[in-house]
Chain A
Amino acid sequence: DVVLTQTPPTLSATIGQSVSISCRSSQSLLHSNGNTYLNWLLQRPGQPPQLLIYLVSRLESGVPNRFSGSGSGTDFTLKISGVEAEDLGVYYCVQSTHAPPTFGGGTKLELK
């Protein structure tokens, strides 16, 4: 199975600070159909996860554009340009290029 390694496990930020989360895959996530099925989710306390970014860099409808995704192959990054209070929670990368789907271990974003 594909292993997704997220770093850092915890991130402390002030409001307005820009932060990045890394997700590294044990194998390339480029699908034979040309898509790369690497998505980013945010789970706020007491809530189910919500999709932020799909196919590496596409912003899900309704998600603020301070969120952006980048990367290719095995290395991917989620960037938040100007953290807001509502962004606190746990961020997960998830891949569905290879069966079975797998999740990263999560990155908890806290207020400093």
Chain B
Amino acid sequence: EVQLVESGGGLVQPGRSLKLSCVASGFTFSNYGMNWIRQAPGKGLEWVAYISSGSSYIYYAETVKGRFTISRDNAKNTLYLQMTSLRSEDTALYYCARHPLFAYWGQGTLVTVSS
């Protein structure tokens, strides 16, 4: 059974940093690109970042470019999102999802940016 489990969310002050993790199981993680998607309270889905299976291709949404860094460790079946210079508008539920069909999603980890 494919599983994606996010962690690392929490309450953080504006300007601070946070690192999210997504542990994958039930499939060959190193064969798939992965995405981070977020959903602000009451809002729609916003794609945040993508990383290819071997980390050769990385893309970011303009809203996070220069502040967030996506990475992965295929040996640990883990996807990461390093978030710096956090803003109140980054408050959201953060999901990881498998590329390209978005067939598998985690339950999400909540990031709240507030003083």
Interface residues of A (CB under 8 A from B): 37, 39, 41, 43, 48-51, 54-55, 60, 90, 92, 94, 96, 99-103, 105-106
B101 close to A39 (CB less than 8 A)? yes
Point out the residues of chain B lying under 8 angstroms from A100, CB to CB.
Answer: 47, 50, 59-61
In the complex, how many angstroms separate the beta carbon of B2 from the nearest chain A beta carbon?
11
Interface contact tally, CB-CB below 8 A: 56
B45's closest neighbor in chain A, by CB? Answer: A103
**Candidates A43, A55, A90, A102; contact of B47 at CB < 8 Å:** A102
B105's closest neighbor in chain A, by CB? Answer: A48
**In the docked arrangement, what's the CA distance between A102 and B60, Å?**
11
B100 close to A96 (CB less than 8 A)? yes
B44 close to A41 (CB less than 8 A)? no
**In the docked arrangement, what's the CA distance between A112 and B57, Å?**
45
**Candidates A90, A94, A105; contact of B102 at CB < 8 Å:** A94
**Are A48 and B108 CB-contacts (below 8 A) given A96-B102, A100-B59?**
yes
Point out the residues of chain B lying under 8 angstroms from A54, CB to CB.
Answer: 101, 103
**Candidates B44, B60, B106; contact of A105 at CB < 8 Å:** B44
Which 8 residue pairs across A and B have the least CB separation, nearest first? A96-B100, A48-B105, A100-B59, A51-B103, A106-B44, A103-B45, A54-B101, A101-B47
Task: Say whether B95 faces chain A, with CB atoms less than 8 Å apart.
Answer: yes
Point out the residues of chain A lying under 8 angstroms from B61, CB to CB.
Answer: 100
Chain B interface extent, by class: 20 to 34
In the complex, how many angstroms separate the beta carbon of B42 from the nearest chain A beta carbon?
11
Interface 0/1 of B72-115, CB less than 8 Å to A: 00000000000000000000000101011111011110000000
B101 close to A96 (CB less than 8 A)? yes
A103 close to B47 (CB less than 8 A)? yes
B101's closest neighbor in chain A, by CB? Answer: A54
Interface 0/1 of B27-69, CB less than 8 Å to A: 0000000010100000011110010000001011100000000
